[in-house]
Amino acid sequence: MSLWNVSISPHIRSRETTASIMRDVIIALIPALGMGFYVFGWRAALITAISVASCVLTEFTYEKLMKLPVTVGDLSAVVTGLILAVNLYATAPWWIPLFGGVFAILVVKMLFGGIGQNFMNPALAARCFLLISFSRIMTDYPTLDGVSSATPFQVLSESGEEAVDLLDMLIGTHSGTIGETSAVAILIGALYLFIRKIISPRAPVTVILSTVAFVALFSFLQGDPVTLKLLAIHAMGGGLLVGAVFMASDYATTPVTFWGQIVFGVCVGFLTAAIRSFSGSGEGMSYAILIANLLTPVIEKLTYPKPTGARKERKA
């Protein structure tokens, strides 16, 4: 007698595994991290190594203590460590990425059930935790060539857009976090992920376009001039590109529906622009994505397509 293996739809087969997907994300992060190492030197590499090691060791230790299957081989902890590192300044003391890695993996990921069960992006949650807990350290800008250098957004707020060099922002030879400085390097990584079909361009592109659109709207409402240079600064600065590509596309915390990803991107763009325009802070991207992560279940429920022929339930 033959036995049939019966399962519910969808019946989709793919050669992709968690490890292969994470490997592609790591490859996509190499240009941004490489530029960060080039600009900020050995300290950037040290911060990155500590961040990755703390994430991997925290996951390994937790699973061993809880007698759970060890999953560090899927490389998700490595990706979390790298994404946390690209959001840190090279001047951070060694214990900052250590604390951040433990918080990201233990509190945000493992205590909620592990990979795919977290309700917000672990690396971004850790960054916001560090920003709130150690605000002075987390805003200590690194020096370039021995000279203290402000980020483009600090230059924008203090000296106006005329003082901001767009070429520096494009190439990455300015102060900022380790992985957010070079727009070209981030876009190379994004192109790789799009070609490999690891992520869809819907959410990242919507985040970028909606942020720029809302910045223009809020500037107009406040009576400030809206120029192409101002919009370019907002598009390339403040971690918008790295956040849109590597964090707003997170499988576990971003809607899976077509219109859900669009709505999610608009929410992130609106919140980012609002924080930047009305608070004067260039850190709006991190908080915007985390707030949108909390809205993901609602967005998915509202945008989930109804089966063909299904009728709306009538109210009693």
Give the CATH number for residue 193: 1.10.3430
Q: 143 phi and psi, to 5 degrees?
A: -95, 150
pLDDT over threshold 50, residue 270:
yes
Q: Establish if 228 belongs to a structural domain.
A: yes
pLDDT over threshold 80, residue 20:
yes
Query: What does the pLDDT average to over 228-250?
Result: 89
Q: Establish if 10 belongs to a structural domain.
A: no
C-alpha dist (Å) from residue 90 to 94, 101, 123, 128: 10, 16, 16, 17
pLDDT score for 273: 92
pLDDT over threshold 50, residue 37:
yes
SS3 assignment for the chain: CCCCCCCCCCCCCCCCCHHHHHHHHHHHHHHHHHHHHHHHCHHHHHHHHHHHHHHHHHHHHHHHHCCCCCCHHHCHHHHHHHHHHHCCCCCCCCHHHHHHHHHHHHHHHHHHCCCCCCCCCHHHHHHHHHHHHCHHHHCCCCEECCEECCCHHHHHHHHCHHHCCHHHHHHCCCCCCCCCCCHHHHHHHHHHHHHCCCCCCHHHHHHHHHHHHHHHHHHHHCCCCCCHHHHHHHHHCCCHHHHHHHCCCCCCCCCCCHHHHHHHHHHHHHHHHHHHHHHCCCCHHHHHHHHHHHHHHHHHHHHCCCCCCCCCCCCC
Query: What does the pLDDT average to over 4-20?
Result: 62
pLDDT score for 140: 72
Number of separate domains in the chain: 1
Percent of the chain with pLDDT over 70: 88
Query: What does the pLDDT average to over 252-262?
Result: 90
Q: Establish if 80 belongs to a structural domain.
A: yes
pLDDT score for 48: 96
pLDDT over threshold 80, residue 294:
yes
Domain region containing 135: 19-303
Distance between CA atoms of 122 and 10, rounded to whole angstroms? 29
Percent of the chain with pLDDT over 90: 54
pLDDT score for 166: 85
Q: Establish if 251 belongs to a structural domain.
A: yes
Distance between CA atoms of 129 and 138, rounded to whole angstroms? 10
Q: Establish if 86 belongs to a structural domain.
A: yes
Beta bridge partners of 66: none
Q: Establish if 85 belongs to a structural domain.
A: yes
pLDDT score for 119: 86
Length of the chain in terms of residues written = 316
pLDDT over threshold 70, residue 28:
yes
Distance between CA atoms of 100 and 299, rounded to whole angstroms? 29
pLDDT over threshold 70, residue 316:
no
Give the chain's mean pLDDT: 86
pLDDT score for 106: 95
pLDDT score for 123: 93
Q: How confident is the model at residue 239 (pLDDT cuts 50, 70, 90)?
A: confident
pLDDT score for 148: 45
pLDDT over threshold 60, residue 9:
no
Name, of 104-118, 205-219, 226-240, the range with top average pLDDT: 205-219
Query: What does the pLDDT average to over 213-234?
Result: 90
CB atoms within 10 A of CB 134: 17
pTM of the predicted structure, to 2 decimals: 0.88
pLDDT score for 161: 78
Please, which residues have CB within 8 angstroms of residue 76's CB and are 6 or more apart in sequence? 18, 22, 115
CB contact at 8 A, 103 and 125? yes
Higher pLDDT among residues 272 and 117, named by residue = 272
pLDDT score for 146: 44
pLDDT over threshold 70, residue 233:
yes
Burial of 228 by CB count in 10 Å (0-12 exposed, 13-18 middle, 19+ buried)? exposed
Q: Establish if 114 belongs to a structural domain.
A: yes
